[in-house]
Structure 1
Amino acid sequence: MESIIPIIDSNVNFTPLVFYRDFLKKLANFYRENPTEEIAFRLFGNGDDDIYNSSYRIDPIALPLLLSILEQLSKFHKNPLRLFLNNNHATSSALEFLYRANFFKTAGDRDYYNQYGNSIISYKEEYLGAFKGKEIRKDHLIRSYRKDDYSNIDFQINDDILLRDQINSLTSYYVQDHFRELLYDNPNTVDYQNTYIDILSELITNGVMHSGSTTYAMMFVDKFRTKFSISDNGIGLKKSLEAKITFPFYYKKDDFKNSISHKKTDFSSYYVENLLDIFEALYYSSLKEREGILDLMLNVVINSNGYFRLHTENCQIIISNRFKYIAKLHEIRQQILNVHNINEISNMEQSDFKNSISQYKKLIMEVFENMFNTAIDYYTEETKFSSIRFFNVKFKGVHIEVEIPNT
């Protein structure tokens, strides 16, 4: 027997928050009640019913999240998932957008040239036609990055630094081609477009190297804002750090967790541990010579006056320039990067280099401790006012969403 789960409900904008809060709950309820059944999906909730009272909208940056969970479920069932489509007065605009944004090419069967298709859904192509002719910008496409895209690279080599450099070199080319024009169109990103390209390339490289899954990304620009998201359903932040055999001198495993005093809270200790995993990853990123996930957060918030959201497992953090300690964090991070750069260029005395990094490590640790405690102290279930969100349903992997205003 097959049960059909609606994805986009009528008259509800399918945003990332709706995905985390409502859609994942639908999936959890299904598997709780039907543990042996195969799952299938209907893209539009009412299908061909009530078409003149229904409308369907999906936030473009929710698409990488949707693709990640569909890929995860298709692996679980060991088959592409059936997706039922409807093309009618109510659904045609949303269906056309998804078609032109390459949602179906990305999620469907591999094409002849193996350039598209992750074989995670099956659907009837005859529904994809008779559209209204609404073209979308050529850059507003879903992007996917997988090991198959790097066929000339030997992923079995033992030199992680060499492997990373090889992957990153090719990823940087992809990212420039996919996103540079969109970054150029926003006055809050144009001056930092090279920085964004470098950091996005680094994050996608991490996904390709460590996640064991496809990394999905999409960037979208309208007259109000630039939005983008990156999502994979891989091993996640915690296991990614645990998998490392060695660390640089400035970091020991669980450094941040071991330094923080655990507060008594009214919510699950599992949620607190999940939040600690996020802060541990950001703290480690703050000490490295390569720009990564923390630097994306700081560039979005400080340089582009935007919002940064990071989700893993059951927890999400939301950071904006209203967050009390963000400016100080940015200041110390720039000093750490400067020390790394000086050491690379002039080959500092190692004792001087280690002493400098160690001094800044103490300072930035204190800032992270203050940020963590503030996030806990001011937590509220009202999502508009809290810098953290907890969700009952676990969503594995790493998921980043960014919104940057155009003014």
Structure 2
Amino acid sequence: MQTIFFESKITSYNFYNKFLQELSSFYKTNGGRIAPNLSLEKVEWMDTLVIPNILSLGLYLSKFHHSQIPLQISWNPRILFFLNEIGFFKIVQSKFSVYEIDERFLGGFPVDKQYRDKHKLQYYLPLADYYNKKLEDQEFYRNELFEKMRFGKVLNDYKDVIEDQGSLDSQEVKKTLDVLTELICNSILYSGTECFAFMQTNKYGSKISLSDYGIGFRKSLERKNIKLKVLEANYKIYSQKTGIDLEDFLVIMDVLSYSKSKERENLWELKNIITKNNGILRIHYQSAQVIFTHNKCKNCEEDIKKCLDCLLETADRDPQYSSARFFKTKFPGVHVEVEFTRQEGYGC
């Protein structure tokens, strides 16, 4: 059985650009009949933003193969201790039986480091019958869920960590919590799959990431009978201009355009909060990732066409550092990464 290794330094970019591409090649070779071995044995450092994606990927593959996916680990006390402290092994073994792991490596870590109780992986279960409810019942249930999450689990799990950032005023903290609740509720109601989230604060700032492996943006909008206006108006001209298939990218922009028109705190509001406070927002869907940064977007005009021109400016010649990234392999679901940083010019 072929082993597919995570990079020695796991970043958001090499997860989508290298690891998933190698995994896709493996499945094309064997026709999807054989489950892969995944391995963390070479990992020396990992960006915590990627961890929810590793869980989403494992659950997606384990359901596809109807069995746990082997995840090989080696004796690296620092990495293993960190994953253990944030609840990674508990989730993949006890909660969901995602990965098959050699338990001989777990425990007895000679690491003298403390992690905060709030720095834990969180998971949220889908509401399977939401679309079977009447429209008026859907809206009632959605509002009820939002209130329950916003002033319960989200407040308890994230408020202290967000306030640790120090650069957000009380109103921005409130709005950020509102947006996180909105994103989590959207995943619970619309994705059809589990959602994983992780938040951590260190001396450089705060990081938040959410990941599900569900139906994604397009089907979610279509289920609400929302037209993909940005996609329809811009696909042909911009795809010809850049030489890139921009369908998934434009669907992300459709979601932002739709959220801009709504009164609720949502992705558009999150983008504004982040870009005004020295932050970074990455939104990944299928084969595209859109990146909004403080340096690039702090004086942004709220015109979608100007936004498209700006984001796609270097996409065809500088794929790694462009504000719009395009990958050869699709990854199901929606994946959001947020960074609030404490130093000017902090990049992707």
Structure 1 counterpart of 2:22: 26
Residue identity in the other structure for 1:185: D
Runs of 4+ in 1 over 4 A off after TM superposition: 153-156
Structure 2 counterpart of 1:344: none
Matched, 1:102 2:75: no
Structure 2 counterpart of 1:6: 5
Matched, 1:265 2:262: no
CA–CA distance in structure 2, aligned partners of residues 4 and 154 of structure 1: 39
3-state SS in 2 of match to 1:323: helix
CA 1:326–1:397 in 2, change beyond 3 Å: closer, same or farther?
Answer: farther
1:320 to 293, 309, 323: 293
Matched, 1:209 2:189: yes
CA–CA distance in structure 2, aligned partners of residues 326 and 316 of structure 1: 21
Structure 2 counterpart of 1:136: 115
CA 1:265–1:97 in 2, change beyond 3 Å: closer, same or farther?
Answer: same
Matched, 1:37 2:20: no
Structure 2 counterpart of 1:396: 332
Matched, 1:69 2:89: no
CA 1:141–1:323 in 2, change beyond 3 Å: closer, same or farther?
Answer: same
3-state SS in 1 of match to 2:22: helix
CA–CA distance in structure 1, aligned partners of residues 269 and 29 of structure 2: 42
Cα distance, 1:276 vs structure 2: 1.1
Matches within 5 A, 1:108-119: 108-109=93-94, 117-119=95-97
CA 1:61–1:325 in 2, change beyond 3 Å: closer, same or farther?
Answer: closer
Q: TM-score, normalised by structure 1?
A: 0.77
Matches within 5 A, 1:240-279: 240-245=220-225, 253-260=227-234, 262-263=237-238, 264-268=240-244, 271-279=245-253
Residue identity in the other structure for 1:229: S
CA–CA distance in structure 1, aligned partners of residues 301 and 313 of structure 2: 20
Matches within 5 A, 1:94-243: 94-109=79-94, 117-133=95-111, 134-147=113-126, 156-158=132-134, 159-172=137-150, 173-191=152-170, 192-243=172-223
Structure 1 counterpart of 2:346: none
Structure 2 counterpart of 1:282: 256
CA–CA distance in structure 1, aligned partners of residues 295 and 70 of structure 2: 44
Cα distance, 1:73 vs structure 2: 0.9
Matches within 5 A, 1:330-341: none
CA–CA distance in structure 2, aligned partners of residues 18 and 82 of structure 1: 21
Gapped runs of 5+ residues in structure 2?
344-348
Offset from partner CA, 1:334-363 (integer Å, 9 cap, x none): xxxxxxxxxxxxxxxxxxxxxxxxxxxxxx
Cα distance, 1:42 vs structure 2: 2.4
Residue identity in the other structure for 2:262: K
CA 1:390–1:171 in 2, change beyond 3 Å: closer, same or farther?
Answer: same
CA–CA distance in structure 2, aligned partners of residues 279 and 228 of structure 1: 21
Structure 2 counterpart of 1:113: none
Residue identity in the other structure for 1:272: L
CA RMSD of aligned residues (A): 2.2
Residue identity in the other structure for 2:160: E
Offset from partner CA, 1:27-84 (integer Å, 9 cap, x none): 1121122222222222213xxxxxxxxx611111110111111111111111221222
Offset from partner CA, 1:353-398 (integer Å, 9 cap, x none): xxxxxxxxxxxxxx00111133234324435642101111111111
Cα distance, 1:259 vs structure 2: 3.8
CA–CA distance in structure 1, aligned partners of residues 229 and 68 of structure 2: 41
CA–CA distance in structure 1, aligned partners of residues 285 and 53 of structure 2: 12
CA–CA distance in structure 2, aligned partners of residues 374 and 319 of structure 1: 10
Aligned length: 335
Cα distance, 1:301 vs structure 2: 0.9
Cα distance, 1:290 vs structure 2: 1.1
